[in-house]
Structure 1
Amino acid sequence: MKKVTAVFDIGKTNKKFFLFDKDFKEVHKEYVSFDEIEDEDGHPTENLPALQKWLKDVFNRILKSKKFEVKAINFSTYGASLVHLDEDGNPLTPLYNYTKPLPENIISSFFEAYGPKEEFLKTTGCADLSMLNSGLQLYWLKNTKPEVFKRIKFSLHLPQYLSYIFTGIALSEYTSIGCHTALWDYSKKDYHNWVYKEEFDKILPPIVSTETSINMNYNGNRIKIGVGIHDSSAALLPYVRSIKKKFVLVSTGTWSIVFNPFTENPISEDIYKKDVLNYMRINGKPVKATRIFLGNEYKVQVDKLDKHFGVSDDYHRTVKFDYDTYFEIIQDFKHCFRWESITDESMPEKTHISYHKYEHAYHQLITELVLLQIKCIKEALGGDNIARIYVDGGFSNNDIYIKLLSHHFREKKLSTTDASLGSALGAAISISDNKLNSKFLKKNYALKKHVPFIVS
């Protein structure tokens, strides 16, 4: 039987299960998605009972299979989500969605008690306060549902709850605590004072390293069970482990997030910038991150371009970088697009497309989006002297985006990777004893180096 590491990689939409061999090659995968259910206020939320049943069913089936011998299992999930357990280890509430609005009176009472706001956000590495901060979820629960709150034995972040399902052991770990929770004081490397004043430390389980695993007998099988990891930190891990020199990672998708794991100044000096925040590496070190809703905006604007020019939905995928077209655009450059999900001081009052060809309008769109991306990368770099940029996710295959980015950062080395397994592979690596070498990205991630185009 092939020896494997199992990983559950739980996104908001897709729930994935992978098996990796000793060389971290994927040998099995399964996908499922569940319809959301509603919490008591009618807000959509994760179907936790269905998720729990699926986890158990899939894993038990794999254990019975004669094809694989599971040696270890770990869990990667989205962040900002807590499961509150009672004395018997059962969830007390729905898994509240981080998109749920937080009442204004809760935020104002919080800052009255623990402000000033600017100082607090700077210390905790948060951009603002909402349900996206799991610490505020606890504060909201204590103040709006005190009877429920009194019954909480442990509050676990989602990756640790999935681990708990298999081990029955309640633990906390750095990457979940460090992702914009408002719980952590980055200056003193401990929970913020407010957490102790509210006595939340009593229901937050002991903190262990993300690399911790529990050796146990599970259904007659000796298995190493990981404590789980936040998906963004997991996606960063293969890079951190295999690259010796400093770099930033531009992880593109609906959100484009730039990670600087080598920052000298993790907390942004400009606390009014809503899209600068901190994550945490598996060893508790801060990661400065900047984000922009780039993929979302791209989708919105491409949809409009398709309708405007009467082309098919996937026509944009066929457009490659053309130097002459780009040169025409930059001769007398003007911003043409008004964004719908991004605010930028350079955008016009309304979108104005003066081009007769789709290709020209599309080049203009990507040029403007890349200008936003450049700002985001520079913000993450701060004053740090970093010579390498890696790009993964959806935009890593966009020819115009990559050519323009490598042209702008021509003094740096820009590479793309195909990290479709990103967070799942990171979860497997975090509980492995295997050392990664510099060839890992080339072998597993289709690493490709890009040379800037020559300006003629």
Structure 2
Amino acid sequence: MSQTVAVLDIGKTNAKLALFDGGRLLWEKSAPNRVLPGPPYPHEDVESAWNFFLDALREAARTRQISAIVPTAHGAAGALIGEIELAAPVMDYEFTGVEAIEPDYARLRPPFSESLSPKVPAGLNLGRQLAYQKWRYPDLFAKAKYFVGYPQYWTWRLSGVAVSEVTTLGAHTDLWAPRRGQVSSLAKALGVDQLLPPLRRAFDPLGPIRPEIAAVTGLAPETQVFCGIHDSNASLLPYLVSRQAPFTVLSTGTWVILMCVGLSLDQLDPRDDTLANVDALGRPIACGRFMGGREYAAIAGGSGNPDLDAIERVIASGAMALPCFSSHGGPYATTKGVIRGEVAARDRTALATLYCALVSDLMLTRMGATSGDLIVEGTFAGNLAFCQTLGALRPTQRVFAADDAAGTARGAAMLAHWPPSYPIVAPTPVPAAPVAGLDAYRDVWTAQIGLIGR
């Protein structure tokens, strides 16, 4: 019987279909995601993504016998669905118009001690999106039979089965109480608890694909659809089954998500944008986040990775990037980023790398993540200077690079055969390297950001 698993990987920037067998990537295809301007508000272009997936599945099915499909998707997105179609468009979480419902929303949102979900801008708290839809578009809201997380929206389109799942409900939504393992007081106050379908685990099979999808794609009618998972939690899965706590995974891309397994939740501080996500087994995980990929691009002004010589040139120059270069997420999201001093154009990527390493180090320190290995996966894993600078900033912790651009999709594919019976590929140890002047530079940088209010 075929063990080939197709993963629908819906990121903020791109949609991807990837095929895996026994953890090996066999084939992948991607397309850019689009956000439509509205009405009624900026929203995900789900139909373009759906058509891409159907075409990609059809292409893949010509050469591979696919036995299972697993969706994974970015957080801060969910879908109000009716009997056969969306009741309302899937809101783009960067839509700042949702902030118009403050302070009405603030009166309902749970205290941080309950939700472990900090207040963040725009629609990054999924509960705020739902409140906006209910209060500003009651006719659309009234058509909803269910509310599902974004991975489970794709599950529903594939199988016709509507379910809830904790990694999505527990991803800074305000809708989940991680310590209690149940919906929060906000879900009840908004009446959303009545719209949540039954809770299933990320690795639960929900049934075969719809007959019409089998007919269109050429997939076998018995192809199983699995519940699916929030993308950062998909990145975490290989390490949950192959490592002992404590350890930290830095899942990097548009966002840098620091997932500290085995760390107490007691030092989480909403002012730092630290929070608890929930892993695939329902356990709260201490996390921090900032929009590192976007900030990197804003500072670097281009692509490419620097070497340590470039890092040391920036340090010697005294030039600094001070937060924040994105208005979404991180401990200084409300401040405007600034570059102080002069830096040569060729060293802008070094300045961006140094900035992202310093912010990661700062957040890990504030969370109390002072022990255990650091595993960098995603975009920054290919930036050796970032990994080495982070290691130099935290010399008591070993740094590893998971040189795997398909890490999120690979983790999601594991759900179709859970727990995996095949060996997990270990990340590569990053050789320690001294960085001249780094400690003194960090002291000055830290003093400068100490003057910035949170």
TM-score over 0.5 for the pair? yes
Partner of 1:306: none
Residues 183, 448 of structure 1: alpha-carbon distance in 2 compared, 3 angstrom cutoff: same
> 1:8, 1:281 → 2: CA distance?
19
Larger Rg: 1
Partner of 2:307: 320
Shift of 1:197: 3.4
1:352 to 330, 335, 341: 341
In structure 2, give the amino acid aligned to 1:452: A
Shift of 1:408: 2.3
> 2:98, 2:387 → 1: CA distance?
42
Residues 195, 432 of structure 1: alpha-carbon distance in 2 compared, 3 angstrom cutoff: same
Shift of 1:168: 0.9
> 2:33, 2:98 → 1: CA distance?
28
* Segment drifting more, 9-18 vs 122-131: 122-131
Partner of 1:413: 398
Q: Where do residues 153-172 of structure 1 align in structure 2 (5 Å cutoff)?
A: 153-172=145-164
The answer to whether the Cα contact below 8 Å between 1:9 and 1:16 also exists between their aligned partners in 2 is yes
Shift of 1:172: 0.5
Size of the aligned set, in residue pairs, is: 422
In structure 2, give the amino acid aligned to 1:230: H
Q: Where do residues 74-93 of structure 1 align in structure 2 (5 Å cutoff)?
A: 74-86=70-82, 88-93=83-88
Unaligned runs of 5+ in 1: 304-312
Partner of 1:107: 102
Is 1:392 equivalent to 2:377 in the alignment?
A: yes
In structure 1, give the amino acid aligned to 2:283: K
Partner of 2:442: none
The answer to whether the Cα contact below 8 Å between 1:246 and 1:388 also exists between their aligned partners in 2 is yes
Residues 54, 400 of structure 1: alpha-carbon distance in 2 compared, 3 angstrom cutoff: closer
1:337 to 321, 327, 333: 321
The answer to whether the Cα contact below 8 Å between 1:15 and 1:31 also exists between their aligned partners in 2 is yes
Shift of 1:80: 1.6
Shift of 1:266: 6.1
Partner of 1:299: 297
Unaligned runs of 5+ in 2: 215-219, 327-331, 437-454
The answer to whether the Cα contact below 8 Å between 2:127 and 2:186 also exists between their aligned partners in 1 is no
Cα deviation 1:134-176 (Å, max 9, x = unaligned): 2222222222222222221111112111111121111001111
Shift of 1:350: 5.5
Cα deviation 1:240-263 (Å, max 9, x = unaligned): 122234210112233222111322
Equivalent position SS for 1:141: helix
1:138 to 127, 130, 140: 130
* Segment drifting more, 360-369 vs 95-104: 360-369
Equivalent position SS for 1:429: helix
Shift of 1:300: 2.4
In structure 2, give the amino acid aligned to 1:407: A
Query: How large is the RMSD of aligned CA atoms in angstroms?
Result: 3.1
The answer to whether the Cα contact below 8 Å between 1:106 and 1:140 also exists between their aligned partners in 2 is yes
Partner of 2:5: 5
> 1:13, 1:367 → 2: CA distance?
24
Equivalent position SS for 1:279: strand
Is 1:435 equivalent to 2:431 in the alignment?
A: no
The answer to whether the Cα contact below 8 Å between 2:371 and 2:396 also exists between their aligned partners in 1 is no
Cα deviation 1:60-81 (Å, max 9, x = unaligned): 4544x2x322111110111221
In structure 1, give the amino acid aligned to 2:321: F
> 1:334, 1:294 → 2: CA distance?
21
Identical aligned residues as a percent = 22
State the TM-score, normalizing by the size of structure 2.
0.83
Partner of 1:404: 389
State the TM-score, normalizing by the size of structure 1.
0.82
Cα deviation 1:296-350 (Å, max 9, x = unaligned): 33322222xxxxxxxxx56x64x42239x839946xx845335551649999976
Equivalent position SS for 1:221: coil
Partner of 2:118: 127
Is 1:422 equivalent to 2:407 in the alignment?
A: yes
Shift of 1:453: 2.7
Shift of 1:201: 1.4
In structure 1, give the amino acid aligned to 2:118: A
* Segment drifting more, 54-63 vs 404-413: 54-63
Cα deviation 1:189-245 (Å, max 9, x = unaligned): 211123223321111111111111124375453222101211111111112122234
Partner of 1:310: none
Shift of 1:385: 6.1
> 1:33, 1:168 → 2: CA distance?
26
